[in-house]
Chains A and B, each alone.
Chain A
Amino acid sequence: MHDNRLAFPTDKQQLTRNDTTQSPTSLDVQAYIASGILESHVLGLTTAQEAAEVERLAQQHPAIEAELTSLRSALEEFALSYEQEPPADLRDRVLGTLNELGEQDEDEDDVDERGGKEIPLTSSPPLSVYRSPRFTWWVAASWGLLLLSLLGNLFLFGRLRSTEDRLTLAEAQNTTLAQRVDVQQARFTEELAVLQNPTTRRVDLKGTPEAPNAQATVFYNATQQKVYLASATLQAPPAGKQYQLWAIVGGKPVDAGVFDVQGGLTRQRDMTNAQAFAISLEATGGSTTEAGPKGPVVLMGGV
């Protein structure tokens, strides 16, 4: 009791300052405690207004606070007297439920922005409806792009075909050219070899009175028996006529082959022991060794 009384003066000072609220005096505090309202309060029997008053007074008066605490403790002990262990599996059930609640709350935070609680499955259709216009636009754009792509492909395919054709042609031309070059080179190499060979003799044929200005040259390698003719300086023969080269062997003319006027050297038939060469103008196809030259001899030269 002494403790309580020592506390009262401070209560009084607080109370006199607080004129607006009709707070109980020190004697009133004891009367308040004795009234039984605190017992009603801890048992949850007071109205909301009474409860608020009890809590407010408890904050102001340690004596009321202490009384409340001791009453609450008594009820707690009373409750504890019925303490009983729950079934072992209840712990997982309860904590599992709270765990689900926690996850739901997190989900609801997201959903609440759209103003409702919806499970993901039911919220899916409105989502796709909402996206529908944009979706159509994308489909249209996709089709357009596909069409453009197809047209582009056709165009490029056409270009490819023509390019391939031209490439094939160019390759063929290139091959032909290369072959021609090869042939030419082989001929030049051969002609050069003939000309460079020390045993090859140059035979200048000079025009007979039939063709005084005509000139041609025969290169004759007696060792190899090869005969080459350079006829570029000759006039082209009249229609139906062809030049024919003859070798004079043992005083008799031997057919060395007909030829057309062209650049470079033409290889004629091989000859052994030729002493001179002559060219006659024959009908196309020429004459034979047996028949001898039928037309006029237009050029002649001795080895």
Chain B
Amino acid sequence: MRTPLDSFAFLAAVRSFARVKSPLLLSKRRTLIAEADLVALLQQRDQRGFALLYDNYSAALYGIILKIVRTEEVAADVMQDAFVKIWRNIDSYHSGKGTLFTWILNVARNTAIDKIRSQEFQQASQSQSLDNFVGIVEQENPVDMQVDAIGLRRVVAGLRPEHRTLIELIYFQGYTQAEVSEELNIPLGTVKTRVKTALTQLRSLITGLLLLLVPLRCTITDWLFRLTNNS
């Protein structure tokens, strides 16, 4: 019998093997490259490295940016700014900070949050409230999304509302715990507890999904990898 934590640790290891240790499968171009090699390319400011990075991660980054800034026009600008920041700061990345994906995800997220906190942006979109933009994202047509994302979104939708609001305020709005406490009018201690609970809940929901998805994904990755090597 496995505890949720154990099974997640197991799955995280499997995933990181599938995604990081073995060559990455870049879905659009079917180019295989190890993450360490990709980082080396990026640190040499090699254009091919950035093209690979874009092809592999642009959908994930763009989705997060769009979720934060809400309009496609601004999202495109922020996406460009984020890649410029990655270009300028790639030397400061090291594997101790997590995977490359975690790092660039944080760069994109921070760039987008900086944008919505800038004065010009706040003046332009003062009328929209938090409730509105949550609605906007949910109304979007999911045709573009990959199968994983649809499944994940359903799972995330299973979060309890107070946890979901909390994660979105922090993750998409860049709120500090103190700001959350003020915004939601709950004590700071409660916020801290709730952050932990929310993440734990999120993790267990995702673990449940991954138990179904990861074996399939690994099989496909492995199969494509072998196919590419044989041909």
Interface residues of A (CB under 8 A from B): 1, 3, 36, 39-40, 42-45, 55, 58-59, 66, 68-87, 90-91, 93-95, 97-99, 101-102, 105
Contacts and interface: CB of A to CB of B under 8 A. Distances in A.
Contact of B47 (A3, A45, A75, A99): A99
B67 interface: yes
A36 B197 CA distance: 9
Contacts of B102: 72, 75-76
B96 A59 contact: yes
A86 B152 contact: no
B131 interface: no
B202 A94 contact: no
B96 A40 contact: no
B195 A102 contact: no
Given A45-B170, A84-B63, A94 B101 contact: no
Nearest to A44: B106
B69 interface: no
A3 B79 contact: no
Interface in B53-79: 54-55, 58-60, 62-64, 66-67, 72, 75-76, 79
Interface stretch (B8-16, B32-40, B117-125, B222-230): B8-16
Contacts of B144: 84-85
B202 A78 contact: yes
Contact of B195 (A40, A80, A85, A99): A40
B155 A90 contact: no
Given A74-B206, A82-B153, A95 B177 contact: no
A69 B50 contact: no
A80 B148 contact: yes
Nearest to A59: B96
Contacts of A83: 59-60, 63, 145-146, 148-149
A69 B16 contact: yes
Nearest to B209: A77
B140 to A, nearest CB: 8
Interface string B145-167: 11011001101100000000001
Contacts of B97: 55
A87 B80 CA distance: 12
Given A44-B106, A45-B195, A93-B76, A81 B149 contact: yes
Contacts of B149: 80-84
B50 A40 contact: no
Interface in B82-136: 83-84, 87-88, 96-99, 101-102, 105-106, 109-110
Interface residues of B, number: 69
B193 A36 contact: yes
Interface centre among A44, A72, A75, A81 (most CB of B within 10 A): A81
A70 B7 CA distance: 10
Contact of A98 (B87, B167, B206): B87
Given A73-B12, A94-B80, 20 more contacts: A36-B195, A43-B199, A45-B170, A45-B177, A59-B96, A69-B9, A70-B203, A74-B199, A74-B206, A77-B210, A79-B64, A79-B109, A81-B155, A82-B63, A83-B59, A83-B63, A83-B149, A84-B66, A85-B144, A101-B87
Contact of B5 (A43, A70, A76, A85): A70
B83 A98 contact: yes
A77 B101 CA distance: 11
21 contacts: A1-B3, A45-B195, A69-B16, A70-B8, A73-B16, A74-B207, A76-B99, A76-B101, A76-B102, A77-B152, A78-B167, A79-B105, A80-B60, A80-B63, A82-B64, A82-B67, A83-B148, A84-B63, A84-B144, A85-B59, A91-B54
B195 A43 contact: yes
B148 A95 contact: no
A95 B47 CA distance: 8
A79 B45 CA distance: 26
A90 B193 CA distance: 40
A55 B99 CA distance: 14
A98 B51 CA distance: 10
Contacts of A76: 99, 101-102, 105
Nearest to A40: B195
A86 B58 contact: yes
B72 A87 contact: yes
A36 B177 CA distance: 12
A79 B195 CA distance: 16
A79 B152 CA distance: 9
Interface in B161-207: 167, 170-171, 176-177, 192-193, 195-196, 199-200, 202-203, 206-207
A73 B54 contact: no
Contacts of A36: 192-193, 195-196
Interface centre among A1, A36, A72, A98 (most CB of B within 10 A): A98
